[in-house]
Amino acid sequence: MPHVPGLRSCYAKVGRLIYFGRMLDKVRLHAASKLPADYTAQLGDSQFYTLDGRCCRFLGVPYSALQTRVLEGGSDEEILAWVHACGITRSDEECHMWNRFIAKLGWRDERSAVLPQRILDSGLVGKPIETLIDHIEYDEGRDPVGDRAWEGI
């Protein structure tokens, strides 16, 4: 998939969480009809394995409620504060575990089986991709290994 203007890295943090800001970007881009069709099948929490679904379940907020709140406007930090008020209160330790879990998803876990096919399908064979997020980053033109993106978690 190409770089999508306005769609940030999976590793970018909002508050204590990686990936959350990217999910907000996807909501906004989809509403503005600027999210490529390849991304729309992964929106929401209806599929168990999607990153959006995992993030919403971790935060205890349904995707539809988050989507409504995002489209009402406000900064990422304001939306995150709303999520914390409406969802499950998470400790610093739980947020750290979330970040490490998402950063390593696809490495020796239930998603390991899909990663090789995604790498092949996207023409990224030979890249040092070990996780689903590595794949997303490379697929969108970023180099998480060269940038050592995990160090910012």
Q: What is the pLDDT of residues 77-111, one digit of tens each?
A: 999 999 999 999 999 999 999 999 999 999 998 88
How many C-beta neighbours within 10 Å does residue 91 have? Answer: 9
Q: Is residue 17 part of a domain?
A: yes
Confidence of residue 16 (pLDDT cuts 50, 70, 90): very high
Q: Is residue 151 part of a domain?
A: no
Whole-number Å distance between alpha carbons of 138 and 141: 5
How many C-beta neighbours within 10 Å does residue 26 have? Answer: 24
Q: Please tell me the predicted confidence (pLDDT) of residue 45.
A: 86
Whole-number Å distance between alpha carbons of 9 and 21: 9
Question: Does residue 49 come out as left (phi exceeding 0), alpha (psi in the -120 to 50 range) or beta?
Answer: alpha
Q: Please tell me the predicted confidence (pLDDT) of residue 2.
A: 67
Cβ-contact 112, 104 below 8 angstroms: no
Instruction: With both helix axes pointing from N to C terminus, report the angle between 20-31 and 63-72 in degrees, rounded to the nearest 10.
Output: 70
Nearest Cα neighbor of 135 from 112, 113, 151, 119 is 119
Q: Are 80 and 131 within one domain?
A: no
Domain of residue 110 covers 105-146
Q: Is residue 99 part of a domain?
A: no
> Where do runs of H (alpha helix) occur along the chain?
20-31, 37-40, 51-59, 63-72, 76-86, 92-104, 115-121, 132-139
Q: Which of 91, 120, 137 is the last residue of a domain?
A: 91
Give the mean model confidence (pLDDT) for residues 29-49: 90
Question: How many independent structural domains does the chain possess?
Answer: 2
Q: Are 7 and 40 within one domain?
A: yes
Q: Are 73 and 5 within one domain?
A: yes
Q: Is residue 109 part of a domain?
A: yes
Q: Are 54 and 19 within one domain?
A: yes
Give the mean model confidence (pLDDT) for residues 28-55: 91
